[in-house]
Amino acid sequence: MNPNSDLQLVPETLLKKRHDLDALQAKRAAEAINNPRVSRKRISDKSKKVKVVKAETILIQSRHRKNARTRFNRVSKKGMQTRASDKSVVKTKVWDSVKEEEVDEKELEKRQEKEQQDKAAADDSDDEEEADEKNDQQLHKIPYKANSIGATTVFAVLIRPTIHTTPKPVKKTLSTLRLRRMHEGVFLPYTDATRKMLHLVEPYVLYGMPSTETISDLVRRRGFCRVDGKRVPLADNNVIERELGDVGLICVEDLVQVLSSASLDAMEGEKDGTFGKVTKFLWPFRLTSRKSKFQSKMLDLKEGKLYGDQGEAMNGYIREML
């Protein structure tokens, strides 16, 4: 009887792999003995690659930095001259009740052209009246506030990266607003000081007045709190009661109520008030991009001049980024 019959057989490929690993370890140990400096600092293939930056790229970045600094200085001295308004602006949007989505202006023009062509081709007047009634029932014009004048709370999101082309004053202002990462959002009391800071960094942020329903969705779906300097999920009311029980807040509904209507202490700029404690307790909301990398790069879809104060339209943008 063979004494090795009870032993488990090892595949030959595995034995070869072990042999190669042992040889590699022995080789590295010998190199460490002969030249210890090389063994401490190994040069990877990625570090050997040389990145070439064209002179035109450096000039463009310098021009962007200069333009951003010029705009910051102009707004800090003279204020906003064209985009800002001290009065509430009301606009109208077209809502498709069948598809449950907002109709773009270009799409609305295409629909109107198609309807005119159908009317010209149609002979029966009754069919035309039925088509007009059906279209009126499908499309609805809804007025909304296009700016945040009169609001007590706004929600701001950083939509542009703060890279080396961004001037230092802009980075400092964004850091004061606690907007340090791409697609991070924070709640801010809409005071005169906050409004001026938002005007200074307006090309980098998207802000507006969220509704109570949107605030509730944000807190419940993307809510994280700060406990002992750590980012903790807002999944239990006991955490809220333990951290904010001294100001009478014990659950998520209380947070939503405070965020939806900033109190007088927040409007006066007091950081130790209820609104200031709630915003300090909540970690900045990390949202997603409105368009995926495939849409923005492969399909070359650009958002254009979508930045600054959006008023009540901010609710739709927040839901796209949730």
Please tell me whether residue 268 adopts helix, strand or coil conformation. coil
Label residue 242 by pLDDT band (50, 70, 90): confident
Residue 184, class by beta-carbon neighbours within 10 Å (0-12 exposed, 13-18 middle, 19+ buried)?
middle
Pairing of strands 224-227, 230-233: antiparallel
| Residue 320 predicted with pLDDT over 90 | no
Cα dihedral across residues 320, 152, 262, 76: positive or negative: positive
Pairing of strands 285-286, 101-103: unpaired
User: For residue range 175-184, what is the model confidence (pLDDT) as tens digits?
Assistant: 999 998 888 9
Give φ, ψ of 207 to 5 degrees.
-140, 160
Please tell me the least confidently modeled range out of 21-30, 83-92, 153-162: 83-92
DSSP H helices, 9-139, are 12-34, 36-40, 45-48, 55-78, 105-121, 125-138
DSSP H helices, 94-251, are 105-121, 125-138, 168-176, 192-200, 212-222, 237-244
Label residue 122 by pLDDT band (50, 70, 90): low
| Residue 156 predicted with pLDDT over 90 | yes
